[in-house]
Structure 1
Amino acid sequence: MKKDIHPKTFKAKIRCHCGYEAELLTTKGESLEVEICSNCHPFYTGKQRFVDTAGRIDRFRKKYAAFGKKEA
């Protein structure tokens, strides 16, 4: 291995806003704060919900509903 080409690694303490803490090896620094982690992310907790802002899902379905029917 070549010398002096690899970044310095730190044993960092990662803190989430939900209160979860973990120690990891990283090149970012000795302390990191994150907004969301696997303990509070809706996908991992099973509390996932879809937010339909201004009916975008309905507009998308309406726009492309005829697309699949033309092929038949």
Structure 2
Amino acid sequence: MKKGLHPENYRPVVFKDMSNDDVFITRSTINAKETIEIDGVTYPLIKVEISNTSHPFYTGKSKLVDTAGRVDKFMSRYGKRELKK
């Protein structure tokens, strides 16, 4: 590898999935404002909304999220086209 190409500040960082409170430690250069203590060691903490433990593709559980009735609005507008065929 070429020297000076990659950042030098790789360190262990904790990523926390906020939807199911799953945590995992990996190396990263991301800046963190919060810290967390795991097994007596303090790590930088990054909160994420979704990870492989909560994403429907990896879990096999699909979840339909209806925001402000968008699905109902779509079905009322375009759902009748399927019935006409």
Q: Same fold (TM over 0.5)?
A: yes
Percent identity of paired positions between Structure 1 and Structure 2: 29
Structure-1 separation of matches of 2:10 and 2:65 = 39
Structure-2 separation of matches of 1:39 and 1:16 = 8
Structure 1 pair 9–43 and aligned structure 2 pair: CA distance change class (3 A): same
Please give the per-residue CA displacement for 1:3-34, whole angstroms capped at 9, x wherever unaligned. 4x532112101111111011100110332110
Bigger radius of gyration among the two:
1
Structure number with higher helix proportion: 1
Matching residue of 2:25 = 23
Please give the per-residue CA displacement for 1:39-68, whole angstroms capped at 9, x wherever unaligned. 1112222221456835658x78x6xxxxxx
Aligned length: 63
Structure 1 pair 15–49 and aligned structure 2 pair: CA distance change class (3 A): closer
Question: How large is the Cα RMSD of the aligned pairs?
Answer: 2.7
Structure 1: gaps spanning 5 or more residues: 63-72
Stretches of 4+ aligned residues off by more than 3 angstroms: 49-57
Contact 1:9 1:26 in 2 (8 A): yes
Structure number with higher strand proportion: 2
Structure-1 separation of matches of 2:61 and 2:48 = 20
Contact 1:10 1:28 in 2 (8 A): no
Tell me the secondary structure at the aligned position of residue 14 of structure 2. Answer: strand
Structure 2: gaps spanning 5 or more residues: 32-43
